[in-house]
């Protein structure tokens, strides 16, 4: 690739929270293969070790950081570790979030709400705040947040998750307006890549059938691949190709929202 291309991420340093599996892992692999040095995080040390070993096998420069993003100070430490290791920070992808089982709204508890809000919009804000001084000093920064179509459709059983993700989209717009003059763009990706969340094949036929049914009336007719379908959209938002895009929500769902 031409090193002056606006899509170039070679040599950049990007934090991807929740990168031990699923979408975060796909993002880390994709941008790492483009030459980005990645700081990957997760709570579970064994998964983090496995993720770091994969990155090493791929020859991707990386730093693995263990911690719970619900903790304010952890987000500061993630950013400090990134800058300490690599001497710069170009972007963050606030991807990690904890989940609760599907629950009707009347049964949602305070702890359900607290978990989703603490690991969703609040964690996203703490990470953005920690990164801002570095972006301001560099007069350039890229923030990518994650939302869900369920927040738009009001998916039954997903109340806390949907509400927390709509709060993330709201923070995305406010940050875009407050920090645009600092050279910072802030955008939200709403992905669909759920295959990795399914139980082992054959163990829950009802859930597998419900998952398959989601793709019956779907423009592209398939689930998204974290590395090849979702991550390139994130890479665009981390690059200079998106320098005039901010405060936006971008569906990376194969058009699935249109059939909701
Ligand atoms: N998958 C989809 O189709 C979909 C759709 C819409 C939106 N999203 C959004 O995309 C993001 C990634 O989704 P996913 O399906 O890839 O999730 P996932 O498979 O559940 O993976 C979540 C990742 O975040 C980490 N994590 C979870 N809670 C954490 C915490 N409190 N502190 C630090 N790390 C934590 C996990 O590692 P540990 O367990 O080791 O902590 C893991 O690496 C989420 O924000 C989700 O809301 C996903």
Chain centroid offset of residue 155 CA? 20
pLDDT for 172 beyond 60: yes
Domain membership of residue 142 (yes or no) is: yes
Domain membership of residue 178 (yes or no) is: yes
What is the CATH number for 234?
Answer: 3.40.50.720
- Angle at 178 (CA atoms; ends 8, 252), nearest 5 degrees: 45
Q: What is the DSSP track for 16-68? A: ESS-SSHHHHHHHHHHHHTT-EEEEEES-HHHHHHHHHHHHHTT--EEEEE--
Is residue 153 lining ligand 1, measured as CB closer than 6 Å? Answer: no
Is residue 51 lining ligand 1, measured as CB closer than 6 Å? Answer: no
Domain membership of residue 134 (yes or no) is: yes
* pLDDT number for residue 203: 87
Domain membership of residue 22 (yes or no) is: yes
Domain membership of residue 135 (yes or no) is: yes
Closest listed residue to residue 183, CA positions, set 244, 232, 102: 244
* pLDDT number for residue 1: 45
* pLDDT number for residue 5: 86
Report pTM.
Answer: 0.97
Atom 32 of ligand 1 has which residue's CA nearest to it?
68
How many domains, in total, are found in the chain? 1
Ligand 1 probe mutation, 19, 26, 42, 77, most atoms within 8 A of CB: 42
Domain membership of residue 136 (yes or no) is: yes
Find the domain containing 120 and state its range. Answer: 13-253
What is the mean pLDDT of the segment spanning 74-90?
98
* pLDDT number for residue 207: 81
Domain membership of residue 122 (yes or no) is: yes
* pLDDT number for residue 251: 98
* pLDDT number for residue 4: 66
Burial class (CB in 10 A: 0-12, 13-18, 19+), 244: exposed
Q: Is 244 annotated as catalytic?
A: no
What is the mean pLDDT of the segment spanning 118-122?
98
* pLDDT number for residue 211: 87
Is residue 230 lining ligand 1, measured as CB closer than 6 Å? Answer: no
Paired tokens of 73: 């100070």
Domain membership of residue 3 (yes or no) is: no
């Amino acid at each position: 690739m031409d090193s002056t291309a606006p899509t170039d991420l070679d040599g950049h340093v990007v934090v991807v929270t929740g990168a031990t599996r699923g979408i975060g892992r796909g993002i880390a692999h994709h941008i790492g293969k483009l030459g980005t040095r990645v700081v990957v995080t997760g709570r579970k040390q064994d998964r983090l070790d496995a993720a770091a070993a994969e990155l090493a096998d791929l020859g991707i420069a990386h730093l693995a950081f263990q911690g719970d993003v619900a903790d304010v100070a952890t987000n500061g430490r993630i950013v400090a570790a990134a800058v300490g290791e690599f001497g710069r920070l170009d972007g963050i992808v606030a991807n990690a979030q904890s989940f609760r089982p599907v629950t009707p709204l009347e049964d949602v508890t305070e702890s359900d709400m607290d978990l989703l809000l603490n690991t969703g919009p609040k964690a996203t804000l703490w990470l953005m705040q920690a990164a801002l001084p570095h972006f301001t000093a560099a007069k350039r920064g890229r923030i990518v947040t994650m939302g869900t179509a369920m927040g738009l459709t009001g998916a039954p059983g997903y109340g806390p998750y949907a509400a927390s993700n709509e709060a993330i989209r709201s923070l995305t717009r406010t940050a875009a307006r407050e920090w645009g003059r600092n050279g910072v763009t802030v955008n939200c990706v709403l992905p669909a890549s759920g295959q990795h969340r399914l139980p082992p094949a054959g163990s829950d036929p009802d859930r597998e059938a419900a998952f398959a049914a989601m793709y019956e009336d779907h423009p592209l007719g398939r689930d998204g691949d974290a590395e090849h379908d979702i991550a390139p959209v994130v890479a665009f938002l981390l690059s200079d190709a998106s320098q005039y895009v901010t405060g936006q929500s971008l569906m990376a769902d194969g058009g699935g929202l249109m059939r909701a």
